[in-house]
Amino acid sequence: MIKEAISKLVEHIDLSAFEAEAVMREIMEEVATASQIAAYMTALRMKGETVDEITGSARVMREKAIQVRVDDPLVVDTCGTGGDHLNTFNISTTVAFVVAGVGVTVAKHGNRSVSSACGSADVLKALGVAINITPEKVEACINDIGIGFLFAPLFHGAMKHAALPRQETGIRSIFNILGPLSNPAQASIQVLGVFKPELTDLLAQVLVNLGSRHCFIVHGMDGLDEVTITGKSRISEGKSGRVAAYFIEPKDFKRENAHIKDIVGGDAQTNAAILQSILRGEQGPQRDVVLMNAAPAFVAAGKSTTLQEGFVLAEESIDSGRAMSKLDQLIEMTNK
């Protein structure tokens, strides 16, 4: 199947969801060779991935992942594609604790650094969270304390067959998109940051196709794969089978625009210190960008009806100490 798919893609012919699913199955079951995988991902990138191609591929990724069973039907993931090369601190990881602090169940899916100096796994490890734990222990964390970290390589073992082609080609491909769409805890609520504005509608429709209850796909127009503090952000909101797109900016939350340098991070130790300072209540652009990114999660989880209400709820999560408490609980439970 993969040879036929490559032949179509080089002629700029789209694949059906069924065809993309069949190819991904060959990749993950080690039927496809490394050369074929490299050719496929390159041709697909050059043509441009469609909703059907991503949907079919993500279905197989989800099917092949080690599953995590969560008691709560409303599970949130705050995740990003990476790839913005702006080297900000770990915004979506900080957001995960803010969201969990209000009693929303969070299954944070992530990996080591791809495009920045520090990925979610790197910063959590620096904070003292044990990331190389069994799926059963992750499951217990989510069900018992309301937050857990799903370290992608432990749950997506079949992805190892694509690792070498990805590494040797060095290009951004469909695999960068698939990770955030394939939460092993079947998170039905997602706030997903993407590296280019064209992806917001595309991935919102993919998540709707995959059965998402409520999702926000976000992109800062300064290039950030998060809601940004510097100006406008494009939002594509998927709910009830439909996608609506609009823009938000800091003034919608009664905040002034800041500069990208105000939210730049560093290595794992630096970013761990930033995360802790925010959860301790330190004011400024770093806190504000976290609040702006937490707001959509609260709307999607049904905790607030507007983004502005969600912003206030995020403030309360931090200022009450509940967000920091979730970090402390996760450190303790993963090290037991």
The whole-number pLDDT of residue 214 equals 97
Q: What is the pLDDT of residues 252-307, one digit of tens each?
A: 999 999 999 999 999 999 999 999 999 999 999 999 999 999 999 999 999 999 99
In this prediction, residues 88-115 reach a mean pLDDT of: 92
For residue range 156-196, what is the model confidence (pLDDT) as tens digits?
A: 988 888 888 888 888 888 998 898 999 999 999 999 999 89
- Per-residue pLDDT tens for 146-157? 999 999 999 998
pLDDT tens by residue, 119-129: 899 999 999 99
Contact 236, 217 (CB under 8 A): yes
236 φ, ψ (degrees, to nearest 5):
-115, 115
Is the pLDDT at 100 greater than 70? The verdict is: yes
Question: How much of the chain is helix, strand and coil, in % rounded to 5?
Answer: 55, 15, 35
Mean pLDDT over residues 197-217, rounded? Answer: 96
The per-residue pLDDT for range 62-94, each reduced to its tens digit, is 999 999 999 999 999 998 887 767 889 999 999
Whether the predicted pLDDT of 116 surpasses 70: no
Could you tell me which of 194, 226, 235, 190 has the C-alpha nearest to residue 210?
Answer: 190
* Mean confidence (pLDDT) of the chain: 94
- Do the strands 242-248 and 105-110 form a parallel or antiparallel pair, or are they unpaired? unpaired
Q: Classify 25 in phi/psi space as left (phi over 0), alpha (psi -120 to 50) or beta.
A: alpha
Domains and CATH numbers, the chain: 2-64 (1.20.970.10), 75-334 (3.40.1030.10)
pLDDT at 115: 52
Do 169 and 38 contact (CB within 8 A), yes or no? yes
Residue 114 reports pLDDT greater than 70 = no
- pLDDT bin (cut points 50, 70, 90) of residue 244 is very high
Q: Is the pLDDT of residue 250 over 90?
A: yes
Do 236 and 245 form a contact (C-beta atoms < 8 A)? yes
Report pLDDT digits (tens) over 23-73. Answer: 999 999 999 999 999 999 999 999 999 999 999 999 999 999 999 999 999
Whether the pLDDT of residue 113 is over 80: the answer is no
Give the residue with greater pLDDT, 163 vs 317: 317
Residue 284 in contact with residue 271, Cβ under 8 Å? no
